[in-house]
Amino acid sequence: MSRVFDLHTHSNASDGIFPPAVLIEKASAAGINTLALTDHDTVAGLAAAKIAANKYNITLINGIELSAHWRNKPIHIVGLNINPENDAIINAIVKLNQLREARAVAIGDRLKQVGIHGAYENAKRIAAGGTVTRQHFSTFLIENGYAKNQADAFAQYLANKKPGYVVVDWPGLEETIAQINGACGVAVIAHPLRYKMTATQLCTMIQDFKGLGGQAVEVVTGHTQLAEIRRMADYAKRYDVAASVGSDFHNETTAWNQLGKLATLPSGLRPVWALW
Ligand code: AMP
Ligand code: MN
Ligand code: MN
Ligand code: MN
């Protein structure tokens, strides 16, 4: 049987819509047989995902998507095949969720200043105990008629320089990679082409990342066009890092990151799964 990978997905332990067991069921129906659950700054969904993965005969890779900074730019680093019980990763999660909680309060305060009340309380309600993300604020803004859809909520309120944007002092790349490696995982740069970096910045980040013990970059992601896949494949070869594939699936309403629709990895790359 051929192996079909998706190494970047979200459940309702962070900002995905489906509980882990439903995500696994949907992944199975979509033909995926190796799936990493990579919720933002939490491993809370992994135990339930594992039970469902056994039922559907899916290989579950324990994962996480950590919020980080590279040269003051917010980026995401996926950790794959981590030990979720390792102290390094547990400490990282505690710290990141303190930062997220303080940011959520600050976003609520900032939105109040433009006349939008109750955003913090409602984002917490929508997150329902999971990691609070800007996506939960976007749901609140849509529900209350402040935005038409998620893209609009970010464009009007939640993106950089907008009224609800709050700068966070995320941990640096060095600390983040050390935490993933400390938990026996592989560090992967998530969706490298979504940071609006120049080519020089992107190449420098990949080199810094590799120098600090990072091992892979996402080459195939949910929204990438063929030209972007080729570009990331070239960087992976040039800087000799492994290549990952992941949809970044959150829900069924965003067309570009559905389960089971990923392009295959171009030949001549070292796949990230060869590292475990
Ligand atoms: P956070 O980690 O709390 O900053 O939230 C980031 C999450 O919000 C991402 O993982 C996406 O799910 C979503 N997101 C970020 N930027 C956008 C955007 N421009 N449009 C739609 N969703 C976005
Ligand atoms: Mn997200
Ligand atoms: Mn991300
Ligand atoms: Mn993600």
CB 39 within 8 A of CB 64: yes
Contact residues for 137 (Cβ-Cβ < 8 A; gap 6+): 104, 107, 111, 119, 123, 153, 157, 158, 164
The pLDDT of residue 238 is 98
Q: Is the pLDDT of residue 92 over 80?
A: yes
| The pLDDT of residue 233 | 98
Residue 104, both tokens: 């959520």
| Amino acid 224: pLDDT | 80
State yes or no: pLDDT of 85 exceeds 90: yes
pLDDT value of residue 2? 83
Task: Tell me the CB-side half-sphere exposure of residue 140, using CA atoms within 13 A.
Answer: 27
Give domain limits for the chain: 5-84+185-275
Q: What is the 3-state secondary structure (H, E, C) of the chain?
A: CCCCEEEEECCCCCCCCCCHHHHHHHHHHCCCCEEEECCECCCCCHHHHHHHHHHHCCEEEEEEEEEEEECCEEEEEEEECCCCCCHHHHHHHHHHHHHHHHHHHHHHHHHHHCCCCCHHHHHHHHHCCCCCCHHHHHHHHHHCCCCCCHHHHHHHHHCCCCCCCCCCCCCEHHHHHHHHHHCCCEEEECCHHHCCCCHHHHHHHHHHHHHCCCCEEEEEECCCCHHHHHHHHHHHHHCCCEEEEECCECCCCCHHHCCCCCCCCCCCCCEHHHHC
pLDDT value for 255: 81
Please give the Cα distance from 158 to 178 (Å, whole number): 30
Residue 206 CB neighbours (<10 A):
20
Average pLDDT in the 127-137 region? 97
Report the CATH fold assignment for 5-84+185-275.
TIM Barrel (3.20.20)
**Predicted structure pTM score:** 0.98
| Closest C-alpha to ligand 1, atom 8 | 135
Q: What is the pLDDT of residue 1?
A: 63
The best mutation among 135, 137, 176, 250 to test binding of ligand 1, ranked by most ligand atoms within 8 Å of the C-beta, falls on 135
Ligand 1: nearest atom to the Cα of 155? 19
> Which residues sit opposite 62 in a β-bridge?
37
- Is the confidence at residue 59, as pLDDT, over 80? yes
Whether 10 is in the pocket of ligand 1, judged by its Cβ within 6 Å, is no
Residue 245, CA distances (Å) to 4, 25, 269 in order: 10, 20, 12
- Residues 51-68 have a mean pLDDT of 98
Strand partners, 245: 220
What percent of the chain shows pLDDT beyond 90? 96
What is d(CA 24, CA 33) in angstroms, rounded to the nearest whole number? 10
Q: Are 205 and 197 in contact (CB under 8 A)?
A: yes
Which residues, at least 6 apart from 234, have a Cβ–Cβ distance to it below 8 Å?
none
Q: Which atom in ligand 1 lies closest to the alpha carbon of residue 131?
A: 3
Please count the residues of the chain: 276
pLDDT at residue 47, rounded to an integer: 98
Model confidence pLDDT, tens digit, residues 21-55? 999 999 999 999 999 999 999 999 999 999 999 99
Task: Quick: pLDDT tens for 210-261.
Answer: 999 999 999 999 988 899 999 999 999 999 999 999 999 999 998 889 999 9
Residue nearest to atom 19 of ligand 1 (CA): 154
Residue 116 has pLDDT above 90, yes or no: yes
What are the residues whose beta carbon lies below 5 Å from ligand 4 (ion)?
Answer: 65, 248
Question: Measured between alpha carbons, how far is 188 from 250 in angstroms, rounded to an integer?
Answer: 19
